[in-house]
Structure 1
Amino acid sequence: MNVRNFSVRRSVVATVAAVTALALAACSGGGSDADADKPSGPVTVKVWAWYPSFQKIVDLYNSTHTDIKIEWTNAGAGQDEYTKLQTALKAGKGAPDVVMLEFQELPTYQLTKHLVDMGKYGANDLKGQYVDWAWKQVSTGDKVYAIPVDAGPMAMLYREDLFKQYGLTIPKTWDEYKAQAEKLKTASAGKAFMTDFGGNDGGFMTGLMWQAGSKPYSYDTANPSNIGISVNDAGAKQVMTYWEGMVNSGLADTKAYGTTDFYNGLGSGKYVTYLAAGWGPGYLASVAKTTAGKWRAAPLPQWTAGGNAQGDWGGSSFAVTDQAKNPEAATKVAMEIYGAKNTDAWKIGIDEAYLFPTATPVLESDAFLKKKYDFFGGQTVNDVFVPAYKAILPFSWSPFNSYNFNQLTTGINGAIEKKTSWTAALDTAQANVTQYATQQGFKVQ
């Protein structure tokens, strides 16, 4: 799940440095006595999460289980939660049994050995319920460090009424997208943009680069001290060269995501498309209510005609920490709370929390695939997002992703403001991230 308030994506670099140092020190770390003295009665499992409408999910779980009781805390969204979690893990007390972690944060906590291998408690039995790339986000071999919850496959949301007004056609490639943007600029006398490019959101930019085949990191927690870094690879530069051209030609705006200007652009007709994740339809409906019925969904444009390359923007999971007093019960909660068979929970998650489920039984259910969205004129938009989700290829994150996102957003925003080269900003990020990794004790391949 990408945090709906985009501001929490901003990095806390000092915290990252501290936890990375802790991580490398912990590579040879010991175990936990969390299994000892399991209680005989109902088990209380403490959960940290920031999903919308999560109290309803907790109440549902507690009303249908007599052996386990969930005690939920919203410890903050994104970095706010992670900072508190890192403090508690370092102190050896105060951490939850189960914690919500976004995909890109998992390597950091795997590295520190503060996540329980849930494979010991039956988590591998769920492997067949998820597509390959999603399961690989949370596992290494037979070791399972989290259970996927939601994801953010990308698509193009567009204003059907404005496409008709300006004589635009749905683009199937990025070249066609640019051509339609040029047509829009002329037809609207420069008053409308094809879209807004949110240079303040590292997840958004990474999703676009993911689609282009970029592989910024090569990292495996089975060999935790080694890492390959290529944040300025060909795929990344292809994306940034394209969007630099779009912005400099006045075809795309550059308002920061999550700001009033961005919301106004979505609601006023200033932006005729929104490059969104799977949670985007619900998010858009909440921030651009006056445009209800005017939007539609189409596949993300491709770099190659007839291609089916896809990227992901956001995704989250439930992990069990090494402070869990009963890791088996905690694993059960992580597996079941948004489990593939928990249709009542997923109804809340889909309708109220805007979650895009990762479990294929939920994805392929009529309740999801055939769900009509009034905001999109009754379109079954998941017909667009589900195939995109299934076509995503595996992708590796670094164990210092907050620093990575900080370098990416700082560099690209600086290039936008100063009108300097976006690819040069990637080269700078490559140098800075490589230096940072070396200083933290990693061997850069």
Structure 2
Amino acid sequence: MRVRSSGPGRRPLAAAPGRRPLAAAVAVVVALLLAACSSDGGGRQDGPVTIKVWAWYPAFQGVVDLFNRTHTDIRIEWTNAGTGQDQYTKLQTALKAGKGAPDVVMLEFQELPTFQLTKHLVDLGEYGANDLRGNYVDWAWKQVSNGDSVYAIPVDAGPMAMLYRQDIFDRFGLSVPKTWAEFKEQAQKLKAAAPEVFMTDFGANDGGFMTGLMWQAGARPFDYDVANPQLIDVNVNSDPAKKVMAYWEDLVDSGLADTTAYGTTDFYNGLGSGKYATYLAAGWGPGYLASVAKTTAGKWRAAPLPQWTAGENAQGDWGGSSFAVTDQTKHPEQATRVAMELFGANKDAWKIGIDEAFLFPTATPILEWDYFRTKEYEFFGGQKVNEVFVPAYNGIEEFDWSPFNSYSFNQLTTAVGQAVEKQASWPDALDTVQRNITAYASNQGFKVSQ
């Protein structure tokens, strides 16, 4: 909105003493109209619109700087409000208070239903987000959308594969397993030749890791649709899930797999010392491994995740994130653009994301980009490891999360962790999780089916 000026070279008429109240009234009206124009999310304003972003991606400052250099109408102010649950707690507090939330926020896939349920996410479909649907495979787009409603823009994902020590495999004559049965056979062969070496480590403290393995086996612990938010099907202790738990319990009890907690110093030392012959990793794993086991550079290789049935291409995902827009934004259109364009299919941004942040992209144009797909990793002896992870990503099938994922993951890691510590039944631990989650969901007002 603009106010007509008196024109070049024209001097405004002096107000007569008796007409000052009218002039003052006009000035107030003009000021109010100008304020309305500048505060309107869709209106014009002097200078760029400031969009506040919360995220904890590594090397993210470079991505923010790139965006600000290449956009004159929007300026990003970035805050690292904490990693994972630390950020979510602050976000929930701000949303509940009605103030203090960012315009755009990084949310992991599994957390989206929680914020959708409380109706604090803007429908980006109203601002053109559906134009990007063709840039993402079906499962990834459905993680962030429901019909034509879009609640976030996918950024990265965690398709799973097996990273293995080529030198250890060569030394003990191991072959790369294609099935989980073969994985156990090679683990037994390794244990017989080198009792101090484990085939791998099972991180019972990581709900995302365990869920990824169960996802691959066909388990679907929840059936949930944000369009019917009070209905949920809970099936944590399904036969496929129990099959996974029974398999890993057997490997651990046989001394073939370790149970050192992920993310600990002992785990990092194990990756670097040769204690583990394999690391079951997500798409961000190659960069992560290179950062925590630098002395093993050149010794690792990547192979597809073993299958439960020979010849199949069943896959699971461990991790993945997106950008959502909160209902506290005053600029939903510009905030949506930020969510869509910060990474999106921007190759310059993704060079930072790939090379410095070790992210695995979800956008098909980036996945098909030669720079990414055929990138040679010195840490893996020059192997093009993304030629392993990209087919895994494309093979992932749909998966629903609950709107109380933090509680679900806590129940899973607690129950399985206790089973490991007490040498109790791992499949029975899932029965405990099933009971606890069902009771919790019912107490929260959900109509639960099993």
* TM-score (ref. length: structure 2): 0.90
Q: Report how far residue 339 of structure 1 moved.
A: 1.2
Are 2:270 and 1:258 equivalent residues in the alignment?
A: no
Q: Which one of 412, 429, 443 corresponds to residue 439 of structure 1?
A: 443
**SS state of the match for residue 314, structure 1?**
strand
| Match of residue 73, structure 1, among 79, 82, 90 | 79
Gaps of 5+ in 1: 1-32
What SS is found at the alignment partner of 1:148?
A: strand
Q: Distance in 1 between matches of 2:40 and 2:229?
A: 24
Superposed CA deviations along residues 196-248 of structure 1, whole A, max 9, x for unmatched, are: 00000000000000000000000001000000000101111010000000000
Matched letter for residue 443 of structure 1: K
Give the whole-Å Cα distance in 1 for the aligned partners of 2:158 and 2:211: 12
Among 401, 406, 413, the alignment partner of 2:410 is 406
Aligned to 1:364: 368
Matched, 1:61 2:72: no
For each residue in 1:179-198, what CA deviation from the matched residue of structure 2 results, as whole angstroms up to 9, or x when unmatched?
Answer: 0000000010x110000000
Give the corresponding residue for 2:184. 178
AA matched with 2:83: A
Instruction: Tell me the secondary structure at the aligned position of residue 397 of structure 2.
Output: coil
Deviation track 1:285-331 (CA, whole Å, cap 9, x = no partner) reads 00000000000000000000001000000000000000011000000
> Does the Cα contact within 8 Å between 1:38 and 1:325 map onto a contact in 2?
no
- In the TM superposition, residue 41 of structure 1 has moved relative to its aligned partner by 3.6
Which residue of 145, 148, 165 maps to 2:151? 145
1:426 partner letter = L
Q: Is the 8 A contact 1:118 1:146 kept in 2?
A: yes
Q: Secondary structure at the match of 1:164?
A: helix
CA apart distance, 1:434: 0.1
- 1:325-369 deviations in Å (ceiling 9; x for gaps): 1000000000000011x1110000000000000001000110001
Aligned to 2:420: 416
Q: Give the fraction of aligned pairs with identical amino acids, expressed as a percent.
A: 75
Give the deviation of 1:66 after TM superposition: 0.2
Name the structure, 1 or 2, with higher relative contact order (CA <8 Å, separation 6+).
Answer: 1
Q: CA RMSD in A?
A: 1.0
CA distance in 1, matches of 2:421, 2:306: 27
Partner in structure 1 of residue 53 of structure 2:
47
Amino acid at match of 2:312: G
2:121–2:325 Cα contact (<8 Å) kept = yes
| 2:118 corresponds to | 112
Q: TM-score, normalised by structure 1?
A: 0.91
Structure 2 residue aligned with 1:338: 343
Q: Is the 8 A contact 1:198 1:254 kept in 2?
A: yes
Q: Determine the C-alpha separation between the residues in 2 that align with 1:81 and 1:325.
A: 21
Counterpart check, 1:324 vs 2:318: no
Bigger Rg, which one: 2
Aligned positions of 1:35-434 closer than 5 A: 35=41, 39=45, 41-188=47-194, 190-340=195-345, 342-434=346-438
Relative to 1, partners in 2 of residues 1:217 and 1:34: Cα closer, same or farther, differing over 3 Å? farther
Runs of 4 or more, structure 1, over 2 Å off, are: 33-41
Give the C-alpha shift of residue 36 in structure 1.
7.0
In structure 1, C-alpha distance between the alignment counterparts of 2:145 and 2:41, rounded to whole Å: 22
